[in-house]
Amino acid sequence: MSGPYKEEDKVENKMRFPELNNRKPSSSHEKGMALVIVILVLAFLQVVGIVLLTVTGTGPRVAGNIRSQQQAYNGADAGFDTAWTMIEEAFASGNWVRFDGHYLTEPVGIDDPTSDDYFRKLTDRELLDLIDPDEDGLPNIDFVLYCRQLYVRNYDGSFDPRYTFTAFLIDDEAGSAVPDPADCILVCIGTVDSGAHMTTSRIEIELAIQLPGT
């Protein structure tokens, strides 16, 4: 049987209770560490939230750019189909017998690889500005097959002015000692005009004909 309970024993037990349960009172250092961890977690969640908002916001713009690029390529492809049909008909009717006389020759150097104005050194927009600087759909230089040609129709039958193509021929032997009028490069540029922004796409196809006696 235990002895009499003293008040000082009660105080001592209170003092020792945390140690008897293998626990110690939280120190101010531990509380500070917990606060730092909470701040770091909140900062991480904030960064993740900003990234998600950025991705969500840029996703539609990226999709729109890809769609415009595809539409511009479709325009260049439509330009090739139209120009190819026209060239076939010109040869079949006898209006054309070879390609020379139908090449784009302006500005000077447009077909010269050593010139700064060589067509492959110019952007699509620069080429279009050279061909039709006032953007009225009429070329300011000769021998352009199609200039800002409309090809997409609206439901009412009118043409959509946002979609155009431009096509011309380049002499791939220009300036060489042995010119070849039986071949050329057909260049087609498709455009999608979205207000201040224009998306373009270019395709280049080499054409050749079989001349009599060759």
Model confidence at 11: pLDDT above 70: no
Residue 93 confidence (pLDDT): 94
* Ranges of each domain in the chain: 52-208
Query: Looking up tokens 């939280």, which residue turns up?
Result: 26
pLDDT of 20 higher than 50: no
Distance CA 48, CA 11 (A): 52
pLDDT at 25: 53
Confidence of residue 180 (pLDDT cuts 50, 70, 90): confident
For the chain, give the percent of residues with pLDDT over 90.
Answer: 53
Tens of pLDDT, residues 99-149: 989 999 998 899 998 999 999 999 999 999 999 999 899 999 999 999 999
* Mean pLDDT across 16-44: 60
Task: Considering only residues 83 and 52, tell me which one the structure prediction assigns the higher pLDDT.
Answer: 83
Average the pLDDT over 191-209 and give the result: 90
pLDDT in tens, 64-75: 678 888 999 999
Task: Please list the residues that pair with 207 across neighbouring strands.
Answer: 184
The pLDDT value recorded for residue 178 is: 80
CA atoms of 192 and 132, how far apart (whole Å): 16
Per-residue pLDDT, 153: 92
Distance CA 54, CA 47 (A): 11
Which two three-digit tokens encode residue 40?
A: 């770091």
Backbone angles phi, psi at 70, to 5 degrees: -65, -40
Burial of 110 (0-12, 13-18, 19+ CB in 10 A): buried
The confidence band for 5, taking pLDDT boundaries of 50, 70 and 90, is very low
